[in-house]
Amino acid sequence: QVQLVESGGGLVKPGGSLRLSCAASGFTFSNYYMTWIRQAPGKGLEWVSYINGGSSHTYYADSVRGRFTISRDNAENSVYLQMNSLRAEDTAVYYCARKNLDGDYAGLWGQGTLVTVSS
């Protein structure tokens, strides 16, 4: 079954850290760029980061660059988002998604994991 399953969300204090994981199954994981997209409560979608199949290229939104790090383990079919120096405005549902091979869009999404940054 082709799917993505996120984990690792939770409540963290401002300035704290959290690591999100996304487990992929049902497709050749190493062939695909993987991306993280977030959605603040009651708000729209915001692209956060993506990484190519071989981990040689990573890209970040300005709002998270220098604080968040995307990585992947193709042997484990997993992609990660290490989030440091968290702020209240990072509170959101974080979706893992697979970038399609033929364009810059997400054809497969996980169910999301909620990150709440609050004291």
Partner 1 sequence: SYVLTQPPSVSVAPGQTATLPCGGTNIESKTVYWYQQKPGQAPVLVVYDDTLRPSGIPERFSGSNSGNTATLTITRVEDGDEGDYYCQVWDPTSDHLWVFGGGSQLTVL
Which residues would be at the binding site for partner 1 (CB under 8 A)?
35, 37, 44-47, 50, 59, 61-63, 95, 100, 103-107, 109-112
* Closer CB to partner 1, 16 or 40, in the complex: 40
Q: Which residue has the tokens 């062939």?
A: 31
Closest by alpha carbon to 92, among 118, 58, 71?
A: 118
Least spacing, CB of residue 84 vs partner 1, in Å:
19
Strand-strand pairing, 113-117 and 10-12: parallel
Q: How far is the CB of 87 from partner 1 (least distance, A)?
A: 17
Of the pair 32, 75, the CB lying nearest partner 1 is at: 32
Strand partners, 56: none
- As a whole number of angstroms, the distance between CA 52 and CA 90 comes to 24
Shortest gap between Cβ of 107 and partner 1 (angstroms)? 5
